[in-house]
A and B are shown apart, each in its own frame.
Chain A
Amino acid sequence: MTFFEQVVTITLCALASVLTRAIPFLVFSPSKPTPALVRYLGNALPSAIFAMLVVYCLKNTSFITGSHGIPELVGIICTVITHLWLRQMLISTLVGTVVYMLLVQKFFP
Chain B
Amino acid sequence: MHNKNTYDTRIAALKAAVPYTLPILAGFLFLGMAYGVYMNAYGFSFVYPMIMSAVIFGGSLEFVAVSMLLSPFAPIAVFLLALMIQARHLFYGIAMLYRFKGLGWKRWYLIYGLCDETFSINYTAKIPQGIDRGWFMLWVTFLNQCYWVAGATLGGLFGGFLPFDTKGLDFVMTAMFVVIFLEQWMHEKQHYTAGIGILSAIICLRVFGPDSFMLPTMILILGSLVLGRGFLEKKVQGT
State whether A79 and B175 are in contact (beta carbons under 8 Å apart), knowing that A38-B97, A40-B229, A71-B168 are contacts in the complex.
yes
Cross-interface CB contact of A21 among B23, B72, B92, cutoff 8 Å: B92
Question: What is the CA–CA distance of A76 and B23 in the complex, to the nearest angstrom?
Answer: 15
State whether A93 and B175 are in contact (beta carbons under 8 Å apart), knowing that A17-B86, A42-B94, A45-B94 are contacts in the complex.
yes
Q: B97 to A25, Cβ gap below 8 A? A: yes
State whether A1 and B97 are in contact (beta carbons under 8 Å apart), knowing that A93-B172, A96-B178 are contacts in the complex.
no
**Scoring A residues 22 to 48 as 1 if CB is less than 8 Å from chain B, else 0, what string do you get?**
111100101000100110111111111
Judged by a CB distance under 8 angstroms, whether B207 is at the interface is no
Please report the total number of A residues contacting B with Cβ < 8 Å: 68
Residues of chain A within 8 A of B33, CB atoms compared = none
For the residues of B in contact with A, the DSSP-based class is helix
Q: How big is the B interface, by class?
A: 35 or more
Q: A80 to B68, Cβ gap below 8 A? A: no
State whether A48 and B111 are in contact (beta carbons under 8 Å apart), knowing that A25-B100, A101-B169 are contacts in the complex.
no
Q: A20 to B55, Cβ gap below 8 A? A: no
Question: What is the CA–CA distance of A89 and B217 in the complex, to the nearest angstrom?
Answer: 27
**Scoring B residues 77 to 108 as 1 if CB is less than 8 Å from chain A, else 0, what string do you get?**
01100110011111111111110111000010
- List 24 A-B residue pairs with CB atoms under 8 Å apart, sorted by A's residue number: A1-B71, A9-B75, A13-B52, A13-B78, A16-B83, A17-B86, A21-B93, A24-B97, A30-B97, A37-B229, A41-B222, A44-B225, A44-B233, A45-B94, A45-B193, A49-B95, A51-B194, A55-B205, A72-B171, A75-B175, A79-B178, A89-B176, A101-B167, A101-B171
In the A-B complex, the 3 residue pairs with the smallest Cβ-Cβ separation, listed nearest first, are A51-B197, A24-B93, A48-B197
